[in-house]
């Protein structure tokens, strides 16, 4: 079983299993409001044998709503009752494209196309694209890509369990839609990993993902691959982790200086904007010892700040609960005293 430091349990408790590769998927589009703003969403269904394409909108807490269907034979759009004329259009370029104009915050939601199979007994759906229409005061020109921090396995885990757990922390990104998965460097297979829920922090988001390796895999480099709309040049980030066994024997003494609670080594080196490759890689230094010397203070400060924030939040919730209990007891005592006196 994977061992996780108690300091991080507040983040890692709500876990889900990562099971699929989503490289070809355009997950989200972020736009600003305004009379001149618009967005285009591509239908990824194969349309050679289809007669009609249906477009749906889904918002959390409501049932999916069909907005229109497109008659391919006559290139004609037929709107659902109550849908405004001129708001939506469909046209053909390389693929069938759904366009929304005059964007408002109420246009935010999941959009996807659908069609009936030839037999007419089953409807197939395309991949959903989430549209986020930001409020007017939101600056969409600043860097809102995920900022990675890397945590390496602890000596205790490696020596005791003969496994190593990489942890990838992603912070300060917007919008919330993000995909994280892991691969061995040079490999194509997506590895089973785990992740926490996407958490909102002020007006941005953060997320954890972690991978546990064992056996021969401990001698291999691994990559945490991050897919997000705001990645530079629209390509995936590849956060490169060194082999688990690299530099372990030479860093036992240095690791002991961190104390028993700080079981992870980290580097906060951001993605290299000058990379010529299509995909960004964020490498850890060749030596874990060197990484420790350079980032020891950064690690302690970051863990202290993060821990303090959630400790404060927990204490605030507890104090609120105690206040409610004490107020209730005082009210009941006063009521019981009044009943006895009467």
Write out residues in the chain with pLDDT < 70, as ranges.
1-25, 47-48, 118-120, 247-316, 318-319, 321-322, 329-342
Domain residue ranges of the chain, discontinuous segments joined by +: 27-134, 147-246
In this prediction, residue 301 carries a pLDDT of 42
In this prediction, residue 327 carries a pLDDT of 73
Spatial contact of 154 and 264, defined as CB atoms under 8 Å apart: yes
What does the mean pLDDT of the chain come to? 76
Residues 97 and 113: their CA atoms lie apart, in Å, by 10
CATH of domain 147-246: 2.60.40.10
Spatial contact of 26 and 89, defined as CB atoms under 8 Å apart: no
In this prediction, residue 313 carries a pLDDT of 58
Does 27-134 match 147-246 in CATH topology? yes
Task: Give 164's contacts (C-beta < 8 A, 6+ positions apart).
Answer: 152, 153, 157, 158, 212, 213, 214, 218, 244
Spatial contact of 15 and 173, defined as CB atoms under 8 Å apart: no
Cis preceding-peptide flag for 175 (omega within 30 of 0): yes
In this prediction, residue 110 carries a pLDDT of 97
Q: What is the pTM of this model?
A: 0.66
CB atoms within 10 A of CB 224: 25
CA nearest to 157, candidates 83, 211, 96, 194: 211
In this prediction, residue 332 carries a pLDDT of 67
CATH architecture of 27-134: Sandwich (2.60)
Spatial contact of 243 and 218, defined as CB atoms under 8 Å apart: yes
Question: Torsion angle of alpha carbons 137, 143, 146, 147, nearest 10°?
Answer: -120
């Amino acid at each position: 079983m994977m061992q996780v430091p108690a300091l991080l349990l507040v983040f890692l408790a709500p876990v889900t299993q990562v099971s699929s590769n989503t490289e070809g998927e355009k997950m989200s589009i972020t736009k600003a409001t305004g009379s001149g703003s618009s967005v285009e969403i591509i239908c990824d269904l194969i349309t050679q044998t289809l007669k009609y394409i249906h477009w749906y909108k889904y918002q959390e807490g409501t049932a999916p709503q069909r907005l229109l269907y497109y008659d391919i034979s006559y290139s004609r759009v037929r709107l659902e009752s109550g849908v405004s004329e001129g708001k939506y259009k469909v046209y053909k370029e390389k693929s069938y494209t759904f366009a929304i104009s005059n964007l408002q915050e109420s246009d935010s939601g999941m959009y996807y196309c659908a069609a009936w199979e030839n037999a007419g007994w089953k409807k197939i759906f395309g991949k959903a694209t989430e549209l986020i229409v930001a409020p007017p005061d939101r600056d969409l020109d600043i860097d809102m890509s995920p900022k990675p921090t890397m945590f390496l396995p602890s000596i205790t885990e490696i020596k005791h369990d003969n496994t190593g757990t990489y942890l990838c922390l992603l912070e300060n990104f917007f919008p919330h839609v993000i995909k994280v998965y892991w691969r061995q460097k040079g490999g194509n297979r997506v590895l089973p990993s785990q992740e926490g829920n996407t958490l909102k922090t002020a007006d941005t988001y953060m997320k954890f993902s972690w991978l546990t390796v064992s056996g021969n895999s401990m001698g291999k480099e691994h990559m945490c691959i991050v897919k997000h709309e705001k990645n530079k040049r629209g390509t995936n980030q590849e956060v490169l982790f060194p082999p688990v066994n690299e530099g372990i024997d030479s860093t036992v003494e240095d690791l002991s200086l961190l104390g028993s609670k700080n079981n992870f080594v980290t580097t906060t080196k951001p993605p290299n904007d000058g990379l010529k490759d299509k995909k960004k890689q964020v490498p850890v230094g060749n030596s874990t010892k060197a990484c420790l010397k350079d980032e020891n203070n950064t690690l302690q400060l970051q863990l202290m700040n993060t821990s303090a924030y959630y400790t404060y939040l927990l204490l605030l919730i507890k104090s609120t609960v105690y206040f409610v209990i004490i107020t209730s007891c005082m009210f009941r005592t006063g009521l019981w005293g009044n009943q006895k006196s009467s």
